[in-house]
Structures are given as C-alpha cells and as structure tokens.
Structure 1
Amino acid sequence: MGGHTLLVLVLVSAALVVLSTAEEIGAVNSFKVIGRVYCDTCQCGYETNITTYITGAKVKLQCLDRINYRLKYEAEGETNENGEYVIYVKGDKGDDMCDVSLVSSSLDGCDKVDTGRDRSRVSLTGYNGLVDEIRHANAMGFMINEPLGSCTMVLKQYQDNADV
C-alpha cells in the first residue's frame, strides 16, 4: 500500500507541474520591438527609392492603460547607421496600448515630424496569436526642409507606373 501511495503522489506532483507550465506555453516574457526612421527627401508623406534613413534618431515606446490612459511603461531607443532601432521590453503588457513615437532627428535639415507617420502601435502581449517575441513597428519619418532636385523625376516614375 505504501508503494501505491507513493506512486499516486508522484503522478499527482507530475500532473501539477505540467498544468502549472501549460499556462505559460506560448506566453512571451520579453519582446524586441524593431523599426526604422527615415527622412522624407521628397516631402510626399511616404518612403521612396531615394528616401534616406537617419542615424542617431531618438524614439520612445510608451504603454498606456487602456481604461484611464495612465503611463505604465516607457523605454527609449536610438537608430543605428541603417536607421534601424531595437527596443527591448521586459514583461507582457497585456491590454495596454503601446506606441513607438519619434522624439528627435539627428539629421540637420530633416527634423520636422511627418504628421501621420510619427508613431506606430505595437502589440506587446503573448496572448494574441503571435508566437514570435519580435514585434515590427511601421517606419516613421521626418520631413526634409527642401525636397531634393531629383524628386520630380522619382514622383513622375510613380505616376507613370500608376497609369499602367
């Protein structure tokens, strides 16, 4: 009888371990938010084939409570030589509204925020069907003060392609 009781205890203990870890399957404990910051060299509101990417631009990630809009999490990032940034986030943010937004440009003559392309919402929870810890933010941009001379030709190419 003692051996039977021991076997039952071992099986119950194993079942409890499996059940306690089953809840965490698929849950991501940390995230990696990646994105790019560009200079809109033609002032057209989107990236073109002559868009440049900004080194040293600053961005921030903020997560707000969905009910009362209180700030619950904040982190900052800076772009590399390819205009790319990575922000590492600890913990699942659940239902919080998390946005990456532009802070500043390091490029003289291209430091006016492109309204409408100045932020990107990211989902930072493991309970949304996404299995990867990497979250991609949309590219965000600043406007150049004076469009490049080659923009007319570039925009004409886009117009010609739209007619096809």
Structure 2
Amino acid sequence: MAKTVALISALCFLAAVVHGHQTEHFNVEGDVYCDPCRVQFETVLAQRLIGATVRLECRDLVKKAVTYSVEGVTGFNGHYSLPVVGDHQNEICEVAVVKSPRPDCIEPMGDFAKSRISCTTNDGTHAAVRFANPIGFMTGAAVPQCTPVLFDLGVLVN
C-alpha cells in the first residue's frame, strides 16, 4: 500500500512539473485591407491585400523592450496567421502592418495600422486562435467612388 501511495505521489509530482514547463502555442489571425476612401474603416470599396507583410511584437510593460517578434505575409483574402510561442502575460502585444504589396496603397492607417492582442492563456482565453482587429493601409487620396458610398453610410450628409 505504501508503495502504491508513493508511486501515485511521484506521478502526480511529475505531471505537475511537466505541466508547469509546457510552452504555450497558439496563433494570432487577422486581415489586412486597403482603404481607398481614407476613412480608416472597411467600406464596400475596401480591398483585402494579398501579400501584405505584418509583424507581431510583444514588449515588456516596464522596460518596453521587445520580448517576442514574428513576421508573416497575408495569403488568400488578405488573411494572416502568426504563431505565438510562450506566454506573454506581462507584455503588450500588437500586430502591425509593415509593408503593402500595392504601390498605390502604402500609407499605414494611423491607429488602425495596428491591433493589440492578448497573448496569454492566463486571461481566461484558452482557444488555439486569437483574432486581431482588421488593420491596413490607405491610398494617397480618396477615390471618387467613395462619395456615394459615404453618403449611403451616413458619414457624409448634404
């Protein structure tokens, strides 16, 4: 009986040690688009960017030093998927646009050129995928087709 208790205790201890040293793995996914109306939100005229470069960076809250960084490129329909290794609970993590594949749409969308994302499982989220808000670039000037679209949305009024 004592041997059985000792064996069970040893197995429980070993399981706890192994579980404590597991590395977190999940993906951050999102979309990148071109805003031809320069309104910094998606309209019917916005186009998803295939081949746009994005970067996920996590920074230490105190020292502001980069602790994790990974880049990726959007594929079909302007969608990206970036791997996250490790837990980044005490860090600020953001996905940002880096490079547009379109020479006519290269201006990052200000505050909407990046999206903050939680990269920890200690926030109650245990999903294998975390979804970031859409991010993107703008054209140098709004295209003429934007006026009726923005009227329909109520952004412009007579």
Q: Does 1:61 align with 2:62?
A: no
Using the TM superposition, give the Cα deviation of residue 152 of structure 1 relative to its aligned residue in structure 2, in angstroms.
Answer: 1.2
Determine the structure 2 residue equivalent to 1:152: 147
TM-score when scaled to structure 2?
Answer: 0.88
Aligned residues: 156
Q: Does 1:85 align with 2:72?
A: no
**For 2:141, what is the secondary structure of its paired residue?**
coil
Using the TM superposition, give the Cα deviation of residue 20 of structure 1 relative to its aligned residue in structure 2, in angstroms.
Answer: 4.5
How much is the aligned-residue C-alpha RMSD, in angstroms?
A: 2.2
Q: Of 75, 91, 97, which residue of structure 2 is paired with 1:96? A: 91
Q: Of 9, 13, 25, which residue of structure 2 is paired with 1:12? A: 9
Q: Separation in 2 of the partners of 1:28 and 1:19?
A: 14
TM-score when scaled to structure 1?
Answer: 0.85
**For 1:82, what is the secondary structure of its paired residue?**
helix
Using the TM superposition, give the Cα deviation of residue 104 of structure 1 relative to its aligned residue in structure 2, in angstroms.
Answer: 1.0
Matching residue's letter, 1:33: V
Matching residue's letter, 1:64: R
Determine the structure 2 residue equivalent to 1:44: 39
**For 1:116, what is the secondary structure of its paired residue?**
helix
Using the TM superposition, give the Cα deviation of residue 148 of structure 1 relative to its aligned residue in structure 2, in angstroms.
Answer: 2.5
The sequence identity of aligned pairs, in percent, is: 30
Using the TM superposition, give the Cα deviation of residue 79 of structure 1 relative to its aligned residue in structure 2, in angstroms.
Answer: 0.8
Computing the radius of gyration from Cα coordinates, the structure with the larger value is 1
Structure 1 portions without partners, runs of 5+:
none
Matching residue's letter, 2:7: V
